[in-house]
Every structure is written in structure tokens, then in C-alpha cells.
Amino acid sequence: MKCSVCGTLNDAGAAFCRQCGSKLGVSECPKCKAVVETDAQFCSKCGTRLIRSDETAGKNCQSCGFVNPPGTTYCKRCNQKVV
């Protein structure tokens, strides 16, 4: 599986990138149940928005810009502390 943060190819089934430590994997679209990448903003099958706006989803990471869920202490993409 290719890391969406640094591009490193990791072993199939790996949970974290061996190069940068970012979380790897896929999740499921809440509307159509299609498999989507963890950092996808929209479902490629049905177009459902997967990441909500800052107001409802939490803060953008100041290091990489990723929108993290409410209550996140460390960025889900780059593992930097979210202030």
C-alpha cells in the first residue's frame, strides 16, 4: 500500500507507513459503503463528501493542512500535534 503522505510503498496490510509513520489503510463511505482511502475527501463511487468543514470536523493541521476530527490531539495524516 502506498502512503498518501510520503509516497513510500509499504507491505500489504500494514497499518502505519514504515517511512513517515502516517496511518495507512482504507475506510468506508457512509452512503454507498464503497472502500475509500483514509485521506479521501470525496467518495469516488458516489461523490459523497467524506471530510466535513472545519466548523464541524475540528481543526486543520498547521503542518500539512489535513482536516482532523473533533478532539484530535495529533494529526491523522502527519502525526504532528494539532494546536
* Alpha carbon 41 to its chain's center: 9
Q: Are 29 and 43 in contact (CB under 8 A)?
A: yes
The residue ranges of DSSP E strands in the chain, in sequence order, are 26-28, 35-37
Going residue by residue through the chain, which has 83 residues, state the pLDDT in tens, using 9 for 90 and above. Answer: 787 777 889 888 888 889 888 878 777 888 998 888 777 888 999 999 886 544 444 678 888 888 777 788 898 889 999 87
The pTM (predicted TM-score) of the whole model is: 0.41
Instruction: Say how far apart CA 25 and CA 36 lie, in whole Å.
Output: 9
Query: Apex CA 18: angle with CA 59 and CA 66, to 5°?
Result: 15
Q: Which of 2, 7, 9 is nearest to 37 (CA)?
A: 2
Where do the domains of the chain lie? 1-50, 52-83
Other CB atoms within a 10 A radius of the CB of residue 2 amount to 12
